[in-house]
Amino acid sequence: MTRVSDLQPAVCKEIVDVTAEPFVRERLLEFGVAPGRLLRVLRKLPFSGPVIVQVGTLFIALRREEADQVWVS
Amino acid sequence: MIENVALLGAPNSGKTTLFNWLTGHQQKIVNYPGSTIDIFMGPVLSSLGTELQIIDAPGTYSLFPKSLDEEITRQTLYDDKFDIKKIIVIIDSTQISRQLHLVRQAQEAGFQIVVALTMLDLYAKGQPSIDIHRLSLLLRAPVVAIDGILGGGVKELVEVVKKLSNNFDRKELKTLEMWSLSRMQEVFREGELFLKEFAHHEKLKIFDSTESKDKIFLHPLFGPLIFICIMVALFSSIYWAAAPIMDLVDSVFSNLSQVLKNTLPESLFSTLITDGIVSGLGAVLIFTPQIFILFIGISLLEDSGYLSRAAALVDKPLSKIGLNGKAFVPLLSGFACAVPAMMAARAINSSKERMLATFIIPFMTCSARLPVYALLIGFLFSKEPLKAGLLMALLYSGGLIIGFIASGLLDKLIKNKKPSFFILELPIYRMPRMRMVIRNSARRTFSYIYKTGPIIMILSLALWALSTFPNYKESNPTNRLESSYASQIGKSIEPVFYPLGVDWRVGVGLISAFAAREVFVSSLAVIFNNTQGSEDTIKDSLLEKMNAAEWPDGRKLFTKASVFSLLVFFMIAMQCMSTFAAAKQEMNSLKFAIFQSLSMNLVAYIAAAITYSVIS
């Protein structure tokens, strides 16, 4: 298992777990960041800024803290 | 019998566009009880049939709210006052698998729904599009395709809504429990299976072009550079594009006031009309061009898809002072006016971050400070435009920096109830449509006037009364003011103004500036008997009068030290009653508003006193 924050851009992986605390996890799930779906890191903003990922047809910006809690295969 | 129908859809799903197609110009704004959240209502256009009223609450991703906006949307649906039985759920056709949730939640709650499918224009010609009939079977609800550009499908949508049953008791509506993970996954799977079979949208070209545009707009070097350029362009347009319109509004009102003065017989009633009501109206309307242009700029950025990228770019720096990227738009709006800025802060998820943002918004240099800065800087450096410009820039960044320091300090002091998070949808880049941009900006501007107008009006009347009575029969304005309640108050607390290096006359100006900052300039004009002359010369002759003003012992009143101290005071102080009212309403706490005003004004006073004593 790898954290999304450690992924290199352009690699497409399957999400296996979302360990964020309930409130944040809910929002991630609502955005489609759910186990079983495919996720791709598009880019990481400089100075440890947000990570831009694509899940399905949606582009999402996540803080590194949130990306730390999304696990991919 | 008029039936209320709610629109329910995620942000960026085309909800507002649909609302505009359904209702045209007949929109009115209602406040959700106990809050300042805007809910827009309007009857459907008569060409579409009558009997329906559409209710448009803020966009939401689910019926499990994560911010105040979303909470209000959920409450609206359940509120007996709105009596909603039927919902139009808006689904972006490129986001079906994710937005399916909202359909299922509305159904589960027990509402009758119809689905409006939008963004079909993103599918290129000849590409396999979505099978609407199949989608309707999957959703177990009627589906109508909406053409957001030409308004196609809207008539059909209204027909379908009318046919929905309303033959049930709203008491049967259920409040939903948060879905389990497996329930959510099931709905995703449903959507994905459907897409695999009946649509092929994962290959849409628009996603590739968005990705390549992000290579530039989110580039480590070009990204921030482009961001700065766009902000500079936006700011200069707020000031330069708005200036002629503001001058127009100004001259219309001062001419109106002049004409009324000349035609009406001299009486208390005529001064009430000219100095109270007309100038109050002018005070309400003078900043609307600027606010309208700011809203156009923000709408353009929003509709093009850039605004979310800007928020992502500044999230990291803002997180250092306890804020997040979503505070970007509120802070930006604060440079035009704190009131719409505080309203924009509702979209911030965490209540602590929302409070911090609301607290520091008045530190942003709003447009009402400009006339004051212009006058005082004009006094210091009238013949040195370079120094004047530099000082102006210094005051702008000074406010911003003090705001950031305040936020950082409060962040350390206040405990977090809910975790801070930043999860933001980055919509695809699209060409904004001017018609919608203008219409939405007008809608927001009206909402602003509607909220601040009455307060500003009442305060200008109060100020008029204070500066007119008790000697209202006196015809010389300067004498009338000098014997008025306002100057009696000013004189009795004159020692308070000594540390700032000014006397009671400037003190009256400072007090009157609590109605709105720019009033400082007009009250100085009255106090120093400078009411004659044309538009252009008022400022120049006021500067002359200021130059000549003296203390009783013959010292100059306006010196470098006292003017700098005034500038510092205006940079920090929270002097605007509308902002006070907005802060109280938005935070739903009088304590917050009082604490904010007191602490800002105290800091402003101390800083100004220090400035005065250091320079002199």
In tens, the pLDDT along B11-45 reads 888 898 899 899 887 777 666 655 556 788 888 88
Q: Are B14 and B118 in contact (CB under 8 A)?
A: yes
The chain A residue lying nearest B206, using CA atoms, is A57
A1 touches chain B (CB under 8 A): no
Q: What angle, 0 to 180 degrees and rounded to 10, lies between the N-to-C axes of helices B434-468 and B577-587?
A: 120
Which token pair is B64?
A: 């499990």
Whole-angstrom CA distances from B335 to B134, B290, B355 are 50, 10, 18
- Best mutation target, B213, B315, B418, B423, to test chain A (most A CBs within 10 A): B423
Q: Which residues of A touch B207 (CB under 8 A)?
A: 57
Phi, psi of B237 (to 5 degrees): -70, -35
| Contact between A23 and B418 using a beta-carbon 8 Å cutoff | yes
Phi, psi of B513 (to 5 degrees): -65, -10
pLDDT at residue B191 in the model = 86
pLDDT at residue B370 in the model = 82
Q: Which of A53, A56, A16, A38 is nearest to B422 (CA)?
A: A53
Distance CA B9, CA B105 (A): 12
Which token pair is B55?
A: 């209710």
List, for residues B99-157, the tens digit of each pLDDT value: 999 999 999 999 999 999 998 887 766 565 788 888 899 889 999 999 888 888 899 99
Question: Pairing relation of β-strands A58-62 and B38-43?
Answer: unpaired
Bigger pLDDT: A49 or B243? A49
DSSP conformation class of B290:
H
Q: Which residues of B touch A58 (CB under 8 A)?
A: 95, 98, 425
> Residue A29 is which amino acid?
L
Q: Which of B597, B578, B596 is nearest to B356 (CA)?
A: B596
Q: Which residue in the block uniquely carries the two structure tokens 């919902």? A: B87
pLDDT at residue B117 in the model = 93
Q: Are B526 and B468 in contact (CB under 8 A)?
A: no
Distance CA B595, CA B444 (A): 28
Phi, psi of B569 (to 5 degrees): -60, -50
| Contact between A48 and B421 using a beta-carbon 8 Å cutoff | no
Task: Tell me how far apart the terminal alpha carbons of chain A are, to the nearest angstrom.
Answer: 5
- Best mutation target, B62, B183, B213, B218, to test chain A (most A CBs within 10 A): B218
Which token pair is A27?
A: 């929002």
Distance CA B330, CA B314 (A): 13
Chain B nearest C-alpha distance from A49 (Å): 5
> Residue B315 is which amino acid?
D
| Contact between A61 and B316 using a beta-carbon 8 Å cutoff | no
A56 touches chain B (CB under 8 A): yes
Distance CA B376, CA B242 (A): 22
| Contact between B423 and A35 using a beta-carbon 8 Å cutoff | no
| Contact between A34 and B428 using a beta-carbon 8 Å cutoff | no
| Contact between A63 and B61 using a beta-carbon 8 Å cutoff | no
pLDDT at residue B203 in the model = 61
| Contact between B202 and A50 using a beta-carbon 8 Å cutoff | no
pLDDT at residue B303 in the model = 87
- Best mutation target, B426, B428, B429, to test chain A (most A CBs within 10 A): B426
A60 touches chain B (CB under 8 A): yes
Give the model's confidence band at A24: pLDDT under 50 very low, under 70 low, under 90 confident, else very high: confident
B219-224's contacts with Cβ under 8 Å and 24+ in sequence apart are: B220/A45, B220/A46, B223/A45, B223/B309, B223/B313, B224/B313
Distance CA B366, CA B294 (A): 12
- Beta carbon pairs, A and B, within 8 Å: 118
Distance CA B226, CA B212 (A): 15
Please give the average pLDDT of every successive group of 10 residues along chain B, which has 616 residues.
Answer: 90 89 78 66 83 90 88 91 92 88 93 92 69 88 89 90 87 86 87 78 72 91 93 80 79 81 79 77 76 86 91 92 90 86 85 92 89 87 85 92 94 79 90 87 81 74 80 73 82 90 88 81 73 55 83 89 95 89 87 95 96 92
Phi, psi of B358 (to 5 degrees): -65, -35
**pTM here?**
0.82
Distance CA B612, CA B231 (A): 34
A residues 16..35 contacting B (CB < 8 A)? 20-21, 23-24, 26-32, 34-35
pLDDT at residue A42 in the model = 92
| Contact between B426 and A52 using a beta-carbon 8 Å cutoff | yes
Whole-angstrom CA distances from B452 to B285, B456, B459, B520 are 10, 6, 11, 19
